[in-house]
Amino acid sequence: MKWLFVDDRAEEEHSRDELEVAVCVLLCQAARMDDDFDLRERDTIRQLMRERFGLPEAEAEALVEAADAKAEASADLWQYARLVKERFTHPERIEMIEMLWEVAYADGVLHDYEAHLLRRIAGLIYVTDQERGTSRKRVLARLGIEDPAT
């Protein structure tokens, strides 16, 4: 997948590291929603962070560890979602929702709590229900999972 995000803006309110942490915390929170943050979900998050931000493997792993600790310690998603909303363009925010769907479906099953979290985050970052649903279908197709709604 080719990501739209390019971090070469000279004047930015927040550092790239803050954005990486915010994205990773939201992904970790999605993985935690079914009370089973397994290796498939962790690998998916690490791979998404490597692809999205061009991180080396060790840096991506360290970021996942730090973000998971933050996700475990706080249920407040607003601060992370706000940063994503402010820094990402609308197409990048839709890609963020796709990343969340990939984590939610990493184990092949969508839990109700995961679906609820996706709705909440989409609303916080101004992604419409229709865009969220379309991104879900793209992820299901990419992962080769049959859409249970059809």
> Which of these, 149, 23, 34, lies nearest to 92 by C-alpha position?
23
pLDDT of residue 5: 47
d(CA 56, CA 61): 9
In tens, the pLDDT along 19-31 reads: 999 999 999 999 9
Q: Are the CB atoms for 30 and 115 separated by under 8 Å?
A: no
Average pLDDT over the chain reads 88
- Number of domains comprising the chain: 1
pLDDT of residue 16: 59
Q: Which domain holds residue 95?
A: 16-143
Extract the tokens encoding 122.
């989409």
Decide which of 103 and 77 is more confident: 103
In tens, the pLDDT along 49-65 reads: 999 999 999 999 999 99
Q: Is residue 94 in a domain?
A: yes
> Which of these, 43, 29, 48, 46, lies nearest to 113 by C-alpha position?
29
In tens, the pLDDT along 115-141 reads: 999 999 999 999 999 999 999 999 999
Q: Is residue 1 in a domain?
A: no
Decide which of 3 and 128 is more confident: 128
Q: Per DSSP, which regions of the chain are E strands?
A: none
Q: Is residue 110 in a domain?
A: yes
Name residues whose C-beta falls within 8 Å of residue 144's C-beta, 6 or more positions apart in sequence.
none
Q: Is residue 148 in a domain?
A: no
Q: Is residue 27 in a domain?
A: yes
Q: What is the CATH number of the domain that holds 59?
A: 1.10.3680.10
Q: Is residue 150 in a domain?
A: no
Q: Is residue 2 in a domain?
A: no
